[in-house]
Structure 1
Amino acid sequence: MINRMDMIQIAVFSDVHGNLPALNAVLEDMEKRGIQQKFCLGDLVDFAPWGNEVTEKITHLNIPCLMGNHDERIAFNIPVVPLSKHSQEETEARFIAIDHSKQHITKENKRFLSTLPFHLKLNYKVGKKHWNIQLVHSSLSSNDTYLYESENDEVFTAMLKESRSDVVVMGHTHLSFKKSFENNKWAINCGSVGRSKEENRLASYLVLTMSEEQIIPEIIQIAYPLEETVHAIEESGIPNYYADFLRNEQALML
């Protein structure tokens, strides 16, 4: 067992996507665990109606945050490009949902999104050991690259080597995973707070516990008032596609 005096804990989360009830639940859980240092990997906006409130909560709490691909799109009015992996229904819903964010984001919040950093490198000293933690939204070279657990190990070990880090933490895919390598190296996806693609649709985030000897990563998944988010989507100008997605009714029938 690690003595709490000889360890450091941080929390990393990503992909809130305007889902304020999910963010509140995750932050409350972090507080219950006594985790003071929190980091966000981006994508504060799109797909749920609280993009402004989520952004303002991040700024009010002074949580360091990266620029996700959705944040960049809203901040700089980047055109939406259809993706081959999306169905026609999702493609049409995506255009409307992102336009909803562009229409409703405040100037102040848009300016904040435009100033977010692309990467963040952390160094923690525990005893005589220095741990290097590389935070990215999706990869070192892009904030819109889809890296899944099924990728070859070489993809992740190359990221660890290039960043000279012990741990690379990413988001973007909305699917959490942990991959361990030699010499206590890790590649981790912390999942999504507000738009999980995992069957349970729970809000996910990562806790990293660092001691002098090792790093222990834990993916935390918690429930939140999902129906509150669903109803808010249905009452907004955001397509009901995203409410149905959160309900995941097809999975519930299996």
Structure 2
Amino acid sequence: MLTIAIISDIHANLPALDAVLKDIDQRNVDQIFCLGDLVDFAPWPNEVIDRIRKNRITTLMGNHDERIAFDLPTVPLKKHSATETQVRFSAIDYTRQTIRPDNKAYLASLPRECRLSFTFGESRLNLLLVHASPRAIDEYIYENHDEQDLRAMMEAKNADTLVMGHTHLSYIRSLSSATTTDPIPKLAINCGSVGRSKETKPLATYLLITLSAQSQFSPDAVTYELVHVPYPIEQTIEAIRMSHIPDFYAHFLERGHIQEFKEKAV
């Protein structure tokens, strides 16, 4: 049996990353992959990169990593208000000012995709790992994305399972079979965010893949599980407030924390 953990979108949130790595270690996971966005929005960009490098985690380049690595301009996004645009610029500038040269060079060295292949008798399962989508480092692929477009992207890359991050919203989506003779199911998966979840509960999320040793592929040969890990979110909130990062990002985490507290109290 082989177990693989896929993490993404840490966004400089060291307490969240440490909690996830501890959970992964307790599960005796064989391999860890990261889909990028190590930096921005929390005050530990160097510490997060150091942790990733120390653990020799194969990591892809996220759009935030790309911007910092190559000194790209910060472009306003249509989905953001004027206030969020301003604080976003400030938070990214914090990373620009604090990133160490060796870590900046590390971000510049990261690849944009990773392919994993596993053989079950005459069948081969092909996994494609990307930060956002197979065609762009900053494209949002939500759970309701057009299936024909998803399938076209996957077929172009010969991928049976597509694993993404970027949206901070996790899901596992089965695609309808193209042919009845194809034994490998097609899946589009978002592994969620470790450090800046946009889901209802403010938990660090990652994907756990378990592959069984079988001579032929069967439905139970591979399992996919989204794992949600609590972490000391108050520590991250307080650290943001004590830094030059706008309090907007502390409020973002605090809103989810308060909602979770209310649910527990009911």
Please give the TM-score of this superposition, normalised by the length of structure 1: 0.93
CA distance in 2: counterparts of 1:155 and 1:11, whole angstroms: 27
- CA deviations 1:64-121 (Å, max 9, x no partner) are 0000000000001111111110112211110000000000000000000000001111
Q: Provide the identity percentage.
A: 49
Q: Is the 8 A contact 1:184 1:215 kept in 2?
A: no
Which ranges of structure 1 fall in alignment gaps of 5 or more residues?
Answer: 1-6
Q: Map residues 5-44 of structure 1 onto 2, 5 A cutoff.
A: 7-44=1-38
2:206 matched to which residue of 1? 205
2:143 matched to which residue of 1? 149
- CA deviations 1:212-235 (Å, max 9, x no partner) are 423211111110000000000000
Structure with max Cα Rg: 2
C-alpha RMSD of the superposition: 1.6
| Counterpart amino acid of residue 241 in structure 1 | F
Matched, 1:243 2:250: yes
2:197 matched to which residue of 1? 196
Query: Aligned to 1:248, what secondary structure does the other structure show?
Result: helix
CA distance in 1: counterparts of 2:25 and 2:122, whole angstroms: 28
1:4 matched to which residue of 2? none
CA distance in 1: counterparts of 2:42 and 2:243, whole angstroms: 9
Matched, 1:178 2:175: no
Please give the TM-score of this superposition, normalised by the length of structure 2: 0.89
CA distance in 2: counterparts of 1:116 and 1:237, whole angstroms: 27
- CA deviations 1:127-178 (Å, max 9, x no partner) are 6643211000001111100110011211221222111121100000000011
Query: Aligned to 1:48, what secondary structure does the other structure show?
Result: coil
Matched, 1:228 2:235: yes
1:102 matched to which residue of 2? 96
Q: Is the 8 A contact 2:201 2:257 kept in 1?
A: no
Q: Map residues 1-150 of structure 1 onto 2, 5 A cutoff.
A: 7-126=1-120, 129-150=123-144
The number of residue pairs the alignment matches comes to: 248
Q: Is the 8 A contact 2:12 2:41 kept in 1?
A: yes
CA distance in 2: counterparts of 1:249 and 1:216, whole angstroms: 29
Q: 1:180 to 1:249 in 2, by over 3 A?
A: closer
Q: 1:243 to 1:59 in 2, by over 3 A?
A: same
| Counterpart amino acid of residue 57 in structure 2 | I
Query: Aligned to 2:140, what secondary structure does the other structure show?
Result: coil
Q: Is the 8 A contact 1:8 1:126 kept in 2?
A: no
Q: Is the 8 A contact 2:165 2:193 kept in 1?
A: yes
Which ranges of structure 2 fall in alignment gaps of 5 or more residues?
Answer: 178-183
CA distance in 1: counterparts of 2:122 and 2:26, whole angstroms: 29
Q: 1:38 to 1:250 in 2, by over 3 A?
A: closer
